[in-house]
Structure 1
Amino acid sequence: MRILHTADLHLGRQFNGIPLDADHGAVLDQIVSAITSNRVDVLVIAGDIFDRAAPPTSAVRQFNGFLARVASETAAAVVMIAGNHDSGDRIASMSIMTDARRALIRGAIRADEQPLILTDAYGPVAFTGLPFAYEYAARECFADEALHTPEDVLTAQVSCGRRNIPDGARWVVVSHAFITGALSSESERPLTRVGGVETVSSAVFEGAHYVALGHLHRPQSVGASHIRYSGSPLAFGFDEFDCQKSMSLVEIDAVGRAAIETIPFEPIRRVRVLKGRHAELLLAERSDDFIKVVLTDDAPVIDGMKRIREVFPNACELAYERNERAPAAKLLVGRALALANPVEVVGDFLEHARGDRLSENELAVVAVALGRLRETEDMQ
């Protein structure tokens, strides 16, 4: 069975105040083309379809038109879930009067997750869609006040979904989460309150043959090759300027092995960082790409951005190299965002400060100390 895995469309989003309607239209066209040219059986959209709970009308119309094309121009089934940017109720409303044999659309969390079961030459493949939900909603849904973290919530969801998988079926899980060890970007909204641990262990998905993830914007596998983020079709920040955006084409064989191929997106406007002297950049070829300019001039340039926009009308940021933060410090920040837990955060900071990693005994001391702090907080 062939699956095209996408996520994090963020329809309705802007880039530094510049509308992305045309950019989104181009990537939606590419998704439809990929379904057709690769004879895809199932299109998966793993959350954050819209950029906010109340998206602009133009974004809703754009997505409705896209779904109409998938329905009329292809034979693919559709599996999609709400992400943390979406309104679960809005996404759920799309499932009303849809063909349940060809679509699984999950907007709000429920205690009895029923899969969409499709069949290929080797038998059934079950798709479980697990929409994003905050802890308070999960506690109400599962009548369990012990659900305090995103991992608690997802563990409960996966457990409910697993109970409804037929014996012998290959299993695909669609989820929206931050899995431990994955690399994040600046444009992602946190999934928990300030100070909370939002990461989830990949072990939660034990038994699944493929896990189609959304939330993080860089394409990557995490924990195992079959647990994968497709990433967002477009770059939403300059920290992603070097990231090749792609869809994941997944083929599940007779025993559930997942072979994964990436299909690159071709955006109509790229995200680029240009460095050089102001006078040199003014001689460059005109471009509509989204540009961050880092000037190497020693002295400030009068009307620097205004003159840059004569060549790059979508220039969004201008900085001077002398004011940019040291690469080592930036690396530390980026690494900290992707760490699995607070113990590793402390370990990474101390490695940066003193030049070598903490020993196992030292890490154990840190873990005990942090555990005592948590106990103290819980008692307050």
Structure 2
Amino acid sequence: MTGSTRALFTADDYRARMERAAHAAADAGLAGLLVAPGPDLVWLTGYTPTAITERLTLLVLAPGRDPALVVPALEAPDAEAAPGAPALTLRDWTDGTDPYAVTADILAADAADSRYGISDNTWALHLLALQTTLPGTSYAALTEALPMLRAVKDAAELELMAAAAAAADAAFEEIRGLPFAGRRESEVGADLARLLREHGHEQVDFTIVGSGPNGANPHHEMGDRLIERGDMVVLDFGGLKDGYGSDTTRTVHVGEPTDEERRVHDVVRAAQEAGFCAVRPGAACQDVDRAAREVITDAGYGPYFIHRTGHGIGVTTHEPPYMIEGEEQPLVPGMCFSVEPGVYLPGRFGVRIEDIVTVTRDGRRRLNATTREMVIVD
């Protein structure tokens, strides 16, 4: 997160998040949470170490005790400047001492035979050392134990999500006016990355440009293929603006499309609309997938829709919840996720249309506003 982003949230905001996380851990039968540098630590404290190294940095949360941040002494000044620092007890350690003993000291009263949630991106080096220092303890990945921890956004977060989506929309409106034919996919991708940054993104996570047959690969890495007239081109791009994610996909056509290309695009557009309309409080995540998939299956393209319909988004561009068959998690106002069905015809072309959607008290709202009709480019 950038400094400007951190200023958008106060120490009280971070204190409330840490309290909420500690209580959620208790409700899940955990003794506490251990959070290493990464998106969870940023969301809970506003702190990002200047460099991720082998030195242990670990947030320790447990119900009924003050949050504590174990941090290398040489990085303590940075940690003290984090916006959530007033809500934390800092426990620094110096090279040559044992940081795991510091952590064990914080947990000592309840550690024996306890189970903790631990952030997914914690290094194995640290987890194994904790298990050695605290024999009898066990650990569950946060995504498994508390998958909905960051899923419900508050009003301030929703404002940032909407601003990130608007910035991505602005990038699309500009890219559609640039030439495609005769340029390499990588050149168009570089333009997309540049436009995202010009519209306020501090981080570009992906710029997928899949032209012609490459569009039939949902995660095609843009390459040196020259885009030709007659190509369908899948544009999927996003990143972080003020610490919150954007992710949108539009499929454009270079010159006039064939009847079949229009038909497939229309099917995907109808599926995307059906998935969007299925969003409402109390519906299951899988209902969104089912609604979009039914349209594509009924049109005869079911075998060519080869991925889930959506994923959550927030301080990372992919996070729970997931819009997929078997996910019965109810939708809750404040959740944000993609709705992005697609059809991929191997060796020929692909079509995907994606918006970020948020659940409201009485339904749903799109955060992306660019047209979902087929766009013709030069």
On whether the aligned pair clears a TM of 0.5, the verdict is no
Compute the TM-score of the two structures, normalised by the length of structure 2. 0.28
Compute the TM-score of the two structures, normalised by the length of structure 1. 0.28
